[in-house]
Structure 1
Amino acid sequence: MTWREPTYRMVDGERIDGAWCHIWRRYQMGGRYYLDDLVVFADGTITCGERTDLAGLAKKLAAGHWAVTDPEAPPLPDPPSKWEARYSEPLTPEGFLLEVADRIEELSRRPTAGQRCWDAIRRYEQQPTESNRELLRVAYLAVPAHLRVFVLGDMDRQDRPLRILLTDIGVAVDGDGPVVTVEMHQSVLDYFARIDQAVQDEQERRAVRYADDPAEAGRPVLVSHQAVYPQGWPDEPGLFTLRNEYPAPVEFAGDSYASVQHGYWALSAADASDRSRIRDAASGSEAHDLGGRATRRSDWSDVRLAVMAGLLRAKFTQHPELARVLLSTGDARISYTGLADAPFWRDVSDDRGRNWMGRLLELTRSELLAQQLLRT
Structure 2
Amino acid sequence: MAWQRPTYRMVDGERIDGAWCHVWRRHRPEAEWFVNDLIVYADGAIMCGDRTDLAGLKKLLASEMLSPTKPGITPPAAEPSKWLSRHGEPLTPVGFLAEVADRIEELSGRSTAGERCWEAIRRYQQSPAAERRALLRDAYLAVPPHLRIYVLGDMDRQDRPLRVLLTERGEPVDGDGPMVTEDMHQSALDYFNRVDEGVARAQEQRAVQHADDSHEGTGPDVTLHETVYPRGWPEELGLFVLRNDFPASVRFAGESYPSVLHGYWSLSAANATDRRQIAAAPTAREAHDLGGRASRRADWPSVRLAVMAGLLRAKFAQHIELAEILVSTGDAAIRYTGLSDSPFWRDAPDSRGRNWMGRLLELTRSELIAQRSLAE
Task: Answer whether TM exceeds 0.5 for this pair.
Answer: yes
Distance 2:262 2:364 in 1: 19
Q: Is the 8 A contact 2:29 2:65 kept in 1?
A: no
Deviates more, 1:288-297 or 1:243-252: 288-297
Match of 1:169 in 2: 169
Match of 1:122 in 2: 122
Match of 2:56 in 1: 56
Please state how far the C-alpha of 1:17 moved relative to its aligned partner: 1.3
Deviates more, 1:263-272 or 1:321-330: 263-272
Please state how far the C-alpha of 1:270 moved relative to its aligned partner: 6.3
Q: Is the 8 A contact 2:164 2:180 kept in 1?
A: yes
Distance 1:25 1:295 in 2: 49
Distance 1:291 1:346 in 2: 18
Match of 2:24 in 1: 24
Match of 2:228 in 1: 228
Gaps spanning 5+ residues in structure 2: where? none
Q: Is the 8 A contact 1:225 1:338 kept in 2?
A: no
Distance 1:36 1:73 in 2: 18
Deviates more, 1:363-372 or 1:2-11: 363-372
1:215 aligns with 2:215: yes
Please state how far the C-alpha of 1:75 moved relative to its aligned partner: 2.3
Please state how far the C-alpha of 1:214 moved relative to its aligned partner: 2.8
Distance 1:156 1:57, change over 3 A: same
Q: Is the 8 A contact 2:29 2:64 kept in 1?
A: no
Distance 1:2 1:294 in 2: 43
Distance 1:191 1:222 in 2: 47
Partner SS state of residue 76, structure 2: coil
Please tell me the residue identity of whatever aligns with 2:128: P
Partner SS state of residue 147, structure 2: helix
Match of 1:9 in 2: 9
Map 1:333-372 → 2, pairs under 5 A: 333-339=334-340, 341=341, 344-347=344-347, 354-372=354-372
Deviates more, 1:350-359 or 1:184-193: 350-359
CA displacement, residues 239-268 of structure 1 (integer Å, 9 cap, x when unaligned): 221222321123333443332233334445
Q: Is the 8 A contact 1:346 1:353 kept in 2?
A: yes
Match of 2:205 in 1: 205
Match of 1:138 in 2: 138
Partner SS state of residue 247, structure 2: coil
Please tell me the residue identity of whatever aligns with 1:17: D
Distance 2:354 2:215 in 1: 27
Deviates more, 1:224-233 or 1:177-186: 224-233
Distance 2:34 2:271 in 1: 60
Please state how far the C-alpha of 1:155 moved relative to its aligned partner: 0.6
Please state how far the C-alpha of 1:118 moved relative to its aligned partner: 0.8
Partner SS state of residue 18, structure 2: strand
Distance 1:288 1:52 in 2: 46
Match of 2:309 in 1: 309
Distance 1:231 1:79 in 2: 76
Deviates more, 1:280-289 or 1:60-69: 280-289
Distance 2:269 2:98 in 1: 62
Distance 2:350 2:289 in 1: 25
Q: Is the 8 A contact 2:336 2:345 kept in 1?
A: no
Distance 2:230 2:268 in 1: 28
Please state how far the C-alpha of 1:122 moved relative to its aligned partner: 0.9
Distance 2:96 2:49 in 1: 18
Match of 1:321 in 2: 321
1:83 aligns with 2:83: yes
Partner SS state of residue 154, structure 1: coil
Partner SS state of residue 192, structure 1: helix
Please state how far the C-alpha of 1:12 moved relative to its aligned partner: 1.2
Gaps spanning 5+ residues in structure 1: where? none
Partner SS state of residue 91, structure 1: coil
Partner SS state of residue 37, structure 1: strand
Q: Is the 8 A contact 1:24 1:33 kept in 2?
A: yes
Distance 1:16 1:375 in 2: 48
Distance 1:231 1:99, change over 3 A: same
Match of 2:250 in 1: 250
TM (norm. structure 1) is 0.89
Please state how far the C-alpha of 1:344 moved relative to its aligned partner: 4.6
